[in-house]
A = this chain, B = another copy of it.
């Protein structure tokens, strides 16, 4: 709380994963899905320091266990290949074998060592991967790699998402221009602790692998793990980062004088992707941000913020533009975190609706007007300390039900 970081980075227009130096990408339709793009590939010119975080679900797809083991052994990657349309989860020994084949085929086509390739899959669970279109699609993708391919990449990783989620930012490190790019997919089954979401961040910065892993873990807890759509956590989630060093800076680590600047840019990229995922939750019409402040610890603030953003009753009330602050306080109450309900103030945007745990007379029409907008910010002040945390989510709508009542068929 004592360190103030100035934003020392610039957000690029239409930036994506190929904005940093030395990355090419592709995205195409191979036939795993009926019509839309379903194979995405990103390749770095040179081996990149790499880090990953993975789903906490006990039921984990082969891609998750495979990448995790591989990165633990060699924290470098040169390519990531992703398919959408089939999660290759709950597919047994055949699924494990298919995941290995997916990786090894990609490595062979690119002329890379096998451990230089990470894989990710997203889509329906429990159906064997259609290997013929998958492998053909990967081969084709290796031929279509280009710097312009970032947008196709971002589209090919989507499932029920309504649009692609991308960003790139630039800053100067050691006098060298450093770029970070990112792409993500989200939508259903999103919850704190890495639900069906994939995010891929690229940078041309030189970063020490251990520092990159620490930074990714910390940032994930503050961004991706603070979003929720429906409380479900998936079998396939992961965030992968590649840092190929082509910017020519001195390797970044906690000892580097500009480490916190780089970390802030990295966090911005992650936060943008996390918010995009939250706003595009299945059926959502808007982004909801819950800020809990005045907490005795960040853990308490985070636990309460996540509980509020996860409440179906809060989410439907926002959808209905109903200033039902009682549900907000009730959701704080069952979060499991300790606080004094009689000291809680609540705001919807800048309209205070509760003070000291009780309702205020407020302008219902103005509150309704505010809740009809996007984004909606709910602020809860506990008045018990000076820690704060923000969680991101979306409203719960008819369309969430429609989309999920017939996803598989």
Residue ranges of A at the interface with B (Cβ–Cβ < 8 Å): 56-60, 87, 89-92, 124-127, 188-189, 191, 193, 230-235, 310-313, 316-317, 319-320, 322-327, 329-335, 338-339, 341-342, 354, 356-359, 396-398, 400-402, 404-409
Contacts and interface: CB of A to CB of B under 8 A. Distances in A.
Nearest to A92: B358
Contacts of A409: 320, 322
B316 A400 contact: yes
Contacts of A398: 398, 401-402
A134 B187 CA distance: 46
Contacts of A325: 126
16 contacts: A57-B330, A58-B339, A59-B330, A59-B332, A60-B333, A126-B358, A189-B330, A232-B311, A232-B313, A232-B330, A232-B334, A233-B334, A235-B333, A316-B404, A322-B408, A401-B401
B341 A59 contact: yes
Nearest to A341: B59
Given A90-B359, A317-B408, A401-B401, A231 B326 contact: no
A92 B404 contact: no
Nearest to A368: B409
Nearest to A283: B401
Nearest to A233: B334
A130 to B, nearest CB: 14
A325 B329 CA distance: 35
Contacts of A125: 324, 326-327, 329-330
B322 A406 contact: yes
Contacts of A339: 58
Nearest to A230: B312
A236 to B, nearest CB: 9
Contacts of A234: 330
A397 B324 CA distance: 21
A205 B90 CA distance: 52
A398 B316 CA distance: 11
A61 to B, nearest CB: 10
A339 to B, nearest CB: 7
A91 B354 CA distance: 10
A405 B316 contact: yes
A288 to B, nearest CB: 14
Nearest to A229: B312
A56 B338 CA distance: 12
A324 B407 contact: yes
Report the 4 A-B pairs with minimum CB-CB distance, sorted nearest first. A125-B326, A320-B405, A59-B333, A316-B404
Contacts of A322: 405-409
Contacts of A333: 57-60, 233, 235
A405 B89 contact: no
A326 B405 CA distance: 14
Given A339-B58, A341-B59, A319 B188 contact: no
Contacts of A313: 188-189, 230, 232, 404
A312 B196 CA distance: 14
Contacts of A311: 231-232
